[in-house]
Amino acid sequence: MKEGKWLQILRRVGRFLRRKPLGAAGGIIVFLLVFTAVFADFLATKDPTRTHPAQTLTPPNRTFWLGTDNLGRDVYSRIVYGSQLSLLVGLGSTLLGSVIGGIVGLLSGYLGGKVDLISQRILDIMQGLPLLVLALVMSAALGPSVWNVILAISVPLVPRAARIIRASTLTIREMAYVEAARALGSKEGRIAFHHILPNTLGPFIVLTTAQLGSAILVEASLSFLGMGVPEPYPSWGRMLSVSAAEYAQKAPWLVVFPGLAISLAVFGFNLLGDALRDLLDPKLRRQ
């Protein structure tokens, strides 16, 4: 039985690789990012916060694989440990924003009436501001810290999640099994959370995966502007903010490698999110 299950899993993975090669490439990038974050203590060659005054702005060599920054800190180790921070902020803010938005969208779509009207107008106001601008305002109000950055990024993600879950709820609440549950005397709360909510998990998974890349990019942007995660935490965006203006020509490795890490992470999550959307959306599966 176990061998049969493993064969089925391998066949599904093989089918996914054939049908969605770009999605598979995104999955590999995401896996490498998670692997690097989990095993950062083993992969890093130096302490990311330790300075080497005699080795400032050293080009890549055998000792410092990706060179050093203006304080003599190892760029490779800072990028490796920066993956932990990017993944923590990305997952934390995306899950928090998606869960809150999902609950708001579920209640708005199921209850309708004044609840739907008021919540949608509030979401319209929130969505009227660009993601980065609203996150910047929240970060400035809360102050620089890891958890404040997670909260600042999660708030702008709420309207997107709420709109998608509300759209799914409006469709599902009219289905026959929901009417049957209501006819059998099920309470409204049970119908919403036990019958409707599980059927919105497909869009929720796609939404969460797609927004992870945006959350990582916003965290890097906030850190670049000095409103994100403070020192001494190694952040890809802060690495760019320190080096981009003064050392871009003198020490290009300070810009190239953190920028490449950000680009690959966002690219991987976007590819994986698009592939999951195609697989989980029944309308797209029929095409």
pLDDT tens track for 240-286 = 876 666 777 788 888 889 889 988 998 888 888 878 777 765 554 44
Residue 237's pLDDT is what? Answer: 82
Classify 258 as helix, strand or coil. helix
Is the pLDDT assigned to residue 1 strictly greater than 50? no
Residue 21 lies in a domain: no
Residue 24 lies in a domain: no
| CB neighbour burial string for 6-25, b if at least 16 within 10 angstroms, e if fewer | eeeeeeeeeebeeebeebbb
Phi and psi at residue 63, to the nearest 5°: -80, -45
Q: What integer best gives the mean pLDDT of the chain?
A: 82
The C-alpha atoms of residue 72 and residue 8 are separated, in whole angstroms, by: 51
Query: pLDDT tier at 39 (50, 70, 90 boundaries)?
Result: very high
The pTM (predicted TM-score) of the whole model is 0.82
**Helix/strand number for the chain, H first, E second:** 13, 0
Give the domain range for residue 50: 32-56+63-285
pLDDT in tens, 125-162: 888 877 788 888 888 888 778 888 888 888 888 888 88
Phi and psi at residue 68, to the nearest 5°: -125, 165
Higher pLDDT, 122 or 283: 122
Number of domains in the chain: 1
Residue 142 lies in a domain: yes
Q: Tokens 């916003």 correspond to what residue?
A: 218
Residue 284's pLDDT is what? Answer: 47
Residue 36's pLDDT is what? Answer: 92
Q: How far is CA 235 from CA 71, 240, 262, in A?
A: 15, 9, 10
Q: Determine contact, residues 213/265, Cβ cutoff 8 Å.
A: yes
Residue 63's pLDDT is what? Answer: 86
The C-alpha atoms of residue 24 and residue 32 are separated, in whole angstroms, by: 12
Residue 123 lies in a domain: yes
Which CATH number does the domain housing residue 197 bear?
1.10.3720.10
Average pLDDT for 197-204 = 77
Residue 38 lies in a domain: yes
